[in-house]
Amino acid sequence: MRFRRITVDPNKMGGVPCIRDLRLPVATVVAMIADGMTTEEILRLYPDLEEEDVREALLYAAEAVKERELPLVANL
């Protein structure tokens, strides 16, 4: 899958994946969604973002963890 709205530049933000060179990390957008913010709230907070940026950030995050196994705490 090719991500057109996600940029990685070792000279910006330490090479962290960002939205369209805006210096806004993908992880920040994903965390805002996880915290319960709506896309509309995020777009109001960051007027340079577009709805497709938020969607692609979520897709990028999903692809990034797709093949990884993360440690989980067992509910005993």
Q: What angle do CA 35, 36, 39 make, to 5 degrees?
A: 115
Q: What is the pLDDT of residue 65?
A: 87
* Residue 72 belongs to some domain of the structure: no
Q: 33-64, pLDDT tens digit by residue?
A: 999 999 999 999 999 999 999 999 999 999 98
Flag whether 70 is in a domain: no
| Domain total in the chain | 1
Query: Is 37 domain-assigned?
Result: yes
By residue range, what is the domain housing residue 58? Answer: 6-65
Residue 71: inside a domain, yes or no? no
Answer yes or no: is 73 within a domain.
no
Question: pTM of the entire structure?
Answer: 0.84
Read off the CATH number of the domain in which 54 is found.
1.10.10.10
Q: Is residue 74 part of a domain?
A: no
